[in-house]
Chain A
């Protein structure tokens, strides 16, 4: 467990860890659609977005891990549930509700763009460089979200989903009850054989 390290994370890691944790958990939530999305073309597309998000989480963990003397995998999997900084907004399990999934996708991409932009403008060139790379992939996510927004905006269930989820976007703090279960499952294989390489 690297929890003790993380209670006193560096100034650099402070704004980065919540982003990485969000991307990791949302990446999983989006990949939960793989194989069961509304149609097959979208299934493939949405999985790419999920992979990008997990990729962004990994890149940020790597940057933070160097400073904290740990590894990206340890940061992703070996912390205690209470040490994760992700928001309840990304923890919500929305399958099989496509209206809510797209509503979260639109709201998240919008909020994410703002915080990535702040990093791009940061004084730390390494962080700014990584943020710029991430943003170049996020451009496609925003296009995808926009495409779907235009298709669904006249649907009452989509409007309701937006209303319901919007207040959660900036919420931080307490994890949702389902996060404990998600964490159990996410770390299950790693915990099953102590000290193993996978």
Chain B
């Protein structure tokens, strides 16, 4: 059985994938993960997960350009310039 191991380097940090171990069962996997990814004190916590339990998703369809999810969906610069001019606070007036 292959177990994927994720490790947390310091409290508060995200767990990141560290590698994998081959083991006869969960108990051995935990032991082996601890030794392989924590023996030098490089981890404060590990997640040990059977490989089959990890489902990879790597397709993210966006056929119609959902730009409201992205920075380029928000052209604020031009609008801010216009708003400042109306308010009489644009930089060239102030100087």
A residues apposed to B, CB below 8 Å: 39, 41-42, 44-45, 48, 143-144, 147, 151
Contact = CB atoms under 8 A, between A and B. Distances in A.
Contacts of A44: 32, 35-36, 39
A147 B22 contact: no
A45 B32 contact: yes
Contact of A147 (B28, B35, B39): B28
A143 B36 CA distance: 17
**B-side interface mostly:** helix
A41 B39 contact: no
B45 interface: no
B23 interface: yes
18 contacts: A41-B22, A41-B23, A41-B28, A41-B35, A41-B36, A42-B32, A44-B32, A44-B35, A44-B39, A45-B31, A45-B35, A48-B35, A48-B39, A143-B31, A144-B31, A147-B27, A147-B28, A151-B24
A192 B21 CA distance: 42
A43 to B, nearest CB: 10
B70 to A, nearest CB: 44
Nearest to A40: B22
Given A41-B23, A44-B32, 11 more contacts: A39-B22, A41-B21, A41-B28, A41-B32, A44-B39, A45-B31, A45-B32, A48-B35, A144-B31, A147-B27, A147-B28
A39 B27 CA distance: 16
B84 to A, nearest CB: 64
A152 B24 CA distance: 12
Nearest to A48: B35
A158 to B, nearest CB: 15
A41 B37 CA distance: 11
Nearest to B29: A41
A25 B80 CA distance: 77
B68 to A, nearest CB: 48
A157 B35 CA distance: 28
A36 B22 CA distance: 17
Interface in B1-52: 21-24, 27-28, 31-32, 35-36, 39
Contacts of A39: 22
